[in-house]
Amino acid sequence: MNLDDLLKDKGEWLRATGPNSDIVMSSRIRLARNLSKYPFSHWASKKEQQDVLQVSSRAIKGSKKIKGCLSLDIGRLDAVDKQFLVERHLMSKEHIVASENKGLCIGDKEVLSIMINEEDHLRIQVMKSGFDLRKAWYIINDIDDELGSLLSYAYSLDFGYLTACPTNTGTGMRASVMLHLPSLVMTKQIGKVLQAITKLSLTARGLYGEGTDAIGNFFQVSNQVSLGHKEEDIIDNIERIIKQIIDHEHSARQALLSQNRAVLEDKIWRAFGTLKSAHIISSGETIDLLSLVRLGVDLNLIKRLDRALVNELFIITQPAHLQKIEKKRLSPNERDIKRADIIREKLTKN
């Protein structure tokens, strides 16, 4: 497997399967781990970063549970390839910065990815399609146990796993769920929902995590603190709250159908018509229109489209994906033209 092979596969989290996949796009568990004999990545010398990269890569390669892993040296990738990996949610934007001595391991079907020398020495991530945090936790816990037997983790009996950011100390776990909440946005209930989330020790971010806006009506909800909490308790808490948000979104969708069906259908079909006929379209407009089309598919108003195809369009129309598909750099205007071409082609076939 090489980097270009990822273009041929939609990836696990885009499959539109799993529980509540009409509202929950993906579930993710991420673990922050550091090696006991080295300073945190931001404080480590280049030699120490090199050692962490070599030691961690050797352990990953020797793992029996991580098979067929694609190992990448981030410092050797060009800007488009780096952004491509960010767009696929396989690594963070922070991993691009000062990319020397940084690595990335990508597992089969993109379920697993491991960043080496990001904020922490290891950022282990497992993503599943739909609302399936438990399955993600079982997978990542198994992998973490094995890597922990091959590596010496920085651990304190008093505080738990030691991490570069104090909010991650303890379990080192961040559980997050990517939600599509167009009806709560349309009915102007989203503000109250986000306020309630904050009071319950959760945080909501945008499509690409920390520091990003909630474009396309997507909200990434995750726990804020792991210190003093068990992994199972964190998952129980976020599952309970996500179920309530799902119920609110379902209720808002039914309210829109019963009270403003004609207006809702008009918005959805106008979005579909624009996407199917546009010859130039920006990334931002595409995401907003696809959000409406996805809602139409979820409500069975658009019957001939597959939800997985809509999910795929969210990703392959991003700037780096377009340039990977074309195998060359594209100007913003060229990307807008290519994006429209791809959307028309995909939608015309269905």
Q: What is the pLDDT of residues 46-74, one digit of tens each?
A: 999 999 999 999 999 999 989 889 999 99
Q: How far apart are the first and last CA of the chain?
A: 30
Q: Contact, 128 vs 22, CB < 8 A? A: no
CATH no., domain 3-249 = 3.30.590.10
Beta carbons within 10 angstroms of residue 293's beta carbon: 24
Residue with tokens 């709250």: 241
Question: What is the Cα–Cα distance from 13 to 129, expressed in whole angstroms?
Answer: 4
Closest by CA position to 203, among listed 229, 227, 167: 167
With the CA atoms of 308, 310, 316 and 319 taken in that order, what torsion angle do they form, in degrees rounded to the nearest 10? -150
Closest by CA position to 291, among listed 310, 309, 317: 310
| Arithmetic mean of pLDDT, 213-233 | 83
What does residue 97 show for φ and ψ, rounded to 5 degrees?
-70, 135
What are 51's two structure tokens? 């050692």
Give me the helices (H) in the chain, please. 46-62, 79-87, 133-150, 182-186, 190-199, 231-277, 283-298, 307-316, 319-326, 332-348
Rg value, the chain, Cα: 21
pLDDT number for residue 7: 87
Secondary structure letter of residue 155 according to DSSP: E
Q: Contact, 12 vs 28, CB < 8 A? A: no
35-39, 150-154, 203-207, 344-348 — which is least confidently predicted?
Answer: 203-207
Secondary structure letter of residue 37 according to DSSP: T
Q: Contact, 121 vs 56, CB < 8 A? A: yes
pLDDT number for residue 227: 72
pLDDT tens-place string over residues 107-138: 989 999 999 999 999 999 999 999 999 999 99
Delimit the domains of the chain by residue range.
3-249
Taking the model in full, what pTM does it have? 0.92
| Arithmetic mean of pLDDT, 215-238 | 87
Question: What is the Cα–Cα distance from 188 to 36, expressed in whole angstroms?
Answer: 48
- Mean per-residue pLDDT of the chain: 92
Beta carbons within 10 angstroms of residue 265's beta carbon: 16
pLDDT number for residue 202: 87
% of the chain with per-residue pLDDT over 70:
97
pLDDT number for residue 9: 79
Question: What is the Cα–Cα distance from 25 to 200, expressed in whole angstroms?
Answer: 22
Predicted confidence band of residue 201 (pLDDT cuts 50, 70, 90): confident
Q: Contact, 149 vs 121, CB < 8 A? A: no
What does residue 174 show for φ and ψ, rounded to 5 degrees?
-125, 115
pLDDT number for residue 208: 56
Dmax (CA) for the chain in angstroms is: 64
Q: Contact, 220 vs 204, CB < 8 A? A: yes
| Arithmetic mean of pLDDT, 4-33 | 90
Q: Residue 186 above 90 pLDDT?
A: yes
% of the chain with per-residue pLDDT over 90:
79
Question: What is the Cα–Cα distance from 128 to 139, expressed in whole angstroms?
Answer: 10
| Arithmetic mean of pLDDT, 209-238 | 80
Q: Residue 211 above 50 pLDDT?
A: no
| Arithmetic mean of pLDDT, 97-106 | 94
Q: Angle at which helices 332-348 and 231-277 pack, to 10 degrees?
A: 90
Q: Cβ contacts of residue 263 below 8 Å, gap of 6+? A: none
Q: Residue 147 above 50 pLDDT?
A: yes
| Arithmetic mean of pLDDT, 178-205 | 91
Predicted confidence band of residue 214 (pLDDT cuts 50, 70, 90): low
What are 252's two structure tokens? 């808002």
